[in-house]
Amino acid sequence: MSAPVINGKQVSEDIRGALREEVERLNKLGFTPGLAVVLVGEDAASQVYVRNKEKACHDLGYYSEVHRLSESTSESDLLALVDKLNKQEDIHGILVQLPLPKHINEKAVIDAIAVEKDVDGFHPVNVGNLVIGDDSLLPCTPAGVIELIKRTGIEISGKHAVVIGRSNIVGKPVSLLLQRENATVTMCHSRTANMKELTRQADILVVAIGRANFVDASYVKPGAVIIDVGMNRLDNGKLAGDVDFESVKEVSGPITPVPGGVGPMTITMLMQNTLIAAKRLRDQA
Ligand code: NAP
C-alpha cells in the first residue's frame, strides 16, 4: 500500500488563513506589517520567487515593496538601499533575493540587514542564536520543514532523524531545529561513507541535496517519514524532488511530494517571520 502524502499546500493554506486573520486584526488597529524584497538582475527563477512573495503579501494584507535593480547595480548602491530599508518604519522585514550577481559580496549584504528585520534568518546573529537555542528569526525553508512535520501530527522527539545535505540555507539549520525538537540527528553530505547504512536507520529522512530523484527506496527504512526539500528543474521543464517519489512511497511512511510539499511552506514561513518581526518592532517602538 502506498504511503500517505503530506499535503504542504493545505498546511500552508491553514497557516496563511491564521496569518490573514491576525493581519486583519492589526490592520483594524492601524498597523500593517511591511516586507521589502530586493531583486538584483534578471535571474528567471528569482523573478518567479519574488512575484510569489509579492502576491503572498497582497493576499494576506501586508504592505510590500519590491525593489527591482539592474544586474549592473554596484555593491555600494545595494548596501545603501539596505541601509535605507533598515531605517524605514513601515518596513519590518527585508529580504534580498539570492543569488546576487557575482560582483556583489553576498555576505556583506546579508550582514548589513538589521538583525530584527532579517526575515530570511541568514544574518550571523540569527544563525548564532539558532545554534545556542536563543529566540531568533528562523530560516524559512527549515522552519517550514519542522512545521510541516509537526502539523502532520508526527512526533519528532526521540526519533532518529537523518538529514542529507549540509548547506547553510537548508541542511545545517534543519539539523539544528530537529535537534531542538529532541530528535537524534545524523547529518550526511557528499563525503559520507556508506550513506545508505545511515539513511536506512532514519525514522525521519530529510533530503536537501539538489539532485533529481537521487534517493530511491533502497535508502529508506520501511515506514520512515520522508521530507523532500529538493527542487530540480528537469530538461522537460517539470519540477522534481531529490527523492524518487514513485518508488519511495511504496516503502516509506508519510512523504512530501514535489511540487506541493515543502515548497509552499517557504513563503508561508517568510510571511510568518515578517509578522513576528513586525510585532516585535512595534512593541519596541
Ligand atoms: P546546496 O547548497 O547545493 O547543498 C547541497 C548539499 O547536498 C551539500 O551539503 C552537499 O554536500 C550535499 N550533497 C550533494 N550531493 C550529494 C550526494 N550525492 N550525497 C550526499 N550529499 C550530497 O543546496 P541547497 O541550497 O541546500 O538546496 C538543496 C535542494 O533544496 C535544491 O534542490 C534546492 O533547489 C532545494 N531548495 C528548496 C527550497 C524550497 O523552498 N523548497 C529552498 C531551498 C533549497 P557537500 O557539502 O559535501 O558538498
pLDDT at 247: 97
Grid cell of 254 as nine digits: 508519510
165 is in an annotated binding site: yes
Query: What is the total residue count of the chain?
Result: 285
- What confidence tens digit (pLDDT) does each residue in 152-199 have? 999 999 999 999 999 999 999 999 999 999 999 999 999 999 999 999
* Structural domains present in the chain: 29-129 (3.40.50.10860), 140-263 (3.40.50.720)
| DSSP E strand stretches across 41-133 | 63-69, 93-96
Q: What integer is the mean pLDDT of 119-138?
A: 97
- What confidence tens digit (pLDDT) does each residue in 37-76 have? 999 999 999 999 999 999 999 999 999 999 999 999 999 9
pLDDT at 189: 98
- In which order are the strands placed within the sheet that holds 184-188? 184-188, 160-164, 204-207, 225-228
pLDDT at 74: 98
46 is in an annotated binding site: no
User: Residue 83 pLDDT > 90, yes or no?
Assistant: yes
Using the mean position of ligand 1's atoms as its centre, give its distance from the Cα of residue 60 in Å: 30
> Residue 139: CB partners within 8 Å, gap ≥ 6?
120, 121, 122, 126, 130, 169, 170, 173
User: Residue 1 pLDDT > 80, yes or no?
Assistant: no
User: Residue 2 pLDDT > 90, yes or no?
Assistant: no
Residue that has been written with the C-alpha cell 520512515 in this structure: 224
pLDDT at 37: 98
Q: Buried b vs exposed e over 10-42: b needs ≥16 C-beta within 10 Å?
A: ebbeebbeebeebbeebeeeeeebbbbbbbbbe
Rounded Cα gap, residues 36 and 179, in angstroms: 32
Using the mean position of ligand 1's atoms as its centre, give its distance from the Cα of residue 30 in Å: 42
pLDDT at 244: 98
Output the CA torsion sign for 206, 212, 215, 217.
Answer: positive
Residue whose Cα lies nearest atom 5 of ligand 1: it is: 209
Asked if 159 and 204 count as a contact pair (C-beta separation under 8 A), the reply is: yes
Using the mean position of ligand 1's atoms as its centre, give its distance from the Cα of residue 143 in Å: 16
| DSSP E strand stretches across 74-233 | 93-96, 160-164, 184-188, 204-207, 225-228, 232-233
**Catalytic site positions:** 53, 97, 120
Q: Which pTM does this prediction carry?
A: 0.97
223 is in an annotated binding site: no
